[in-house]
Amino acid sequence: MQKPSLDRASEAGEAPQPLKEDVGATDPGPRNLGRDRQNPDVLAPPDTDSGEVPNLRFSFSDAHNRLEEGGWAREVTARELPVATTLAGVNMRLTPGGVREMHWHKEAEWAFMLDGRARITAVDQDGHDFIDDVGVGDLWYFPAGIPHAIQGLEEGCEFVLVFDDGNFSENSTFSLTDWFAHTPKDVLATNFGVSESAFSHIPSGERYIFQGEVPGPLPVSSPRGTAPESFSHRMLAQEPIRTGGGQVRITDSSNFPVSTTVAAALVEVEPGGMRELHWHPNDDEWQYFIEGKGRMTVFASEGTARTFDYRMGDVGYVPFAMGHYIQNTGEEPLRFLEMFRSDHFADVSLHQWMALTSCELVQEHLHVDREFMDTLRKEKRPVVE
């Protein structure tokens, strides 16, 4: 397995250089050494990189953070990562009792819980209510237009939200307080059948995130409300696809029926392992890196390829049908989400493709020997050693 393009000096804590053997030159500065150490394959690309491929990485650490009483939120959309046209993401933190106010979107909302616990509530178009407490590794999905709210429980919570439009922005949310503030009080009084004085103290604008009281236990009689379809899912309760190099859990409409526009895989790659060479035949891939360090090379056809380095909190992106792999370049497990604007997860394995094609045809293409052909396996292994 090819090592990251990081010279011995940088491994010892000195400044990495854009220099490999007899190409490149040292960089005396000015420079951002922290960035260079985090992105060795951008500083000194592998020899196999070629041509122009757009940027496929953006860190939530570089995104504007909106701070509110009760939490914070930051987003990575097509504004921050222009190539990411199919999906957008929001990283949000709520304090114990912190409330992401009652709201709805033009886009569907998919979420993965990163830390703590939260209470989610919603009401569908037929008047059915939904309520659930979610923890680390749990998902939720609210279809476009379905009103909902999120509140941190005793330990608070952090999660990543994914929306099925790359140009989505949290600033375009339809919020309860914003609507009340922009509706005449006599109209509110008529609508709700009360006097105008009932609205004397409503907020003057959107509250977005605010501090509330930690809610009590879920009702025993109807712990998840009356909605006929669940808006939440326990992803970590799924039995993973295990291989020698790691494991994968896949969640799409086949096991989470309400999630009709976002499909996802939670991938865990052990040190020395790799998400195999593959591509996706259904849509672009939006990635969120949860833990560890990795490097991804994307093959974009026409003799072009580019390598990027990722770590926790980064967003990655692979345009439709482009071949790629992801190596674990650290000493700890690498965990990341693969997400697609689709109702189903689909990938094509390079290894499986060759194994299911005649030996003669593959050999005529690649000039490989028979020993190589005999090692090919017909079953798919998403993560390899």
The predicted-structure confidence for 359-382, as pLDDT tens digits, reads as follows 999 999 999 998 999 999 899 999
11, pLDDT greater than 50:
no
Share of the chain above pLDDT 90, in %: 90
Contact criterion met (CB below 8 Å) for 140 and 116: no
DSSP per-residue string spanning 109-154: EEEEEEEEEEEEEEE-TTS-EEEEEE-TTEEEEE-TT--EEEEEEE
What is the reported pLDDT for 221? 74
**Residue 104 in tokens:** 């709805």
Contact criterion met (CB below 8 Å) for 270 and 276: no
338 included as an active-site residue: yes
User: Could you give phi then psi for residue 173, rounded to 5 degrees?
Assistant: -70, 145
pLDDT band at 3 (very low <50, low <70, confident <90, very high): very low
* 329 contacts: CB under 8 Å, gap ≥ 6: 4, 293, 294, 295, 309
The residue from 14, 69, 338, 360 that is catalytic is 338
Specify the pTM.
0.93
* 207 contacts: CB under 8 Å, gap ≥ 6: 101, 175, 177
Number of Cβ within a 10 Å radius of residue 223: 11
Determine whether 66 is exposed, middle or buried from the number of CB atoms within 10 Å of its CB (0-12, 13-18, 19+).
Answer: middle
DSSP per-residue string spanning 174-226: EEHHHHHHTS-HHHHHHHHTS-GGGGTT--SS---EEE-PPP-PPPSSSTT-S
12, pLDDT greater than 90:
no
Number of Cβ within a 10 Å radius of residue 175: 18
What is the reported pLDDT for 13? 57
What is the reported pLDDT for 2? 47
109, pLDDT greater than 50:
yes
DSSP per-residue string spanning 311-341: ETTEEEEE-TT-EEEEEE-SSS-EEEEEEES
**Residue 172 in tokens:** 């375009």
Q: Which residue has the tokens 């009084």?
A: 189
Gap between the terminal Cα atoms of the chain: 9
The predicted-structure confidence for 330-358, as pLDDT tens digits, reads as follows 999 999 999 999 999 999 999 999 999 99
Specify whether the backbone of 153 is left (phi greater than 0), alpha (psi in -120 to 50) or beta.
beta
What is the reported pLDDT for 26? 93
User: 362 vs 48, 289, 299, 350, CA distance in Å?
Assistant: 22, 35, 20, 12
Q: How far apart (Å, rounded) are the C-alpha atoms in residues 118 and 94?
A: 8
The predicted-structure confidence for 162-214, as pLDDT tens digits, reads as follows 999 999 999 899 999 999 999 999 999 999 999 999 999 999 999 999 999 99
The predicted-structure confidence for 30-62, as pLDDT tens digits, reads as follows 999 999 999 999 999 999 999 999 999 999 999
Domains defined along the chain, listed by start: 8-47 (no CATH), 63-232 (2.60.120.10), 234-384 (2.60.120.10)
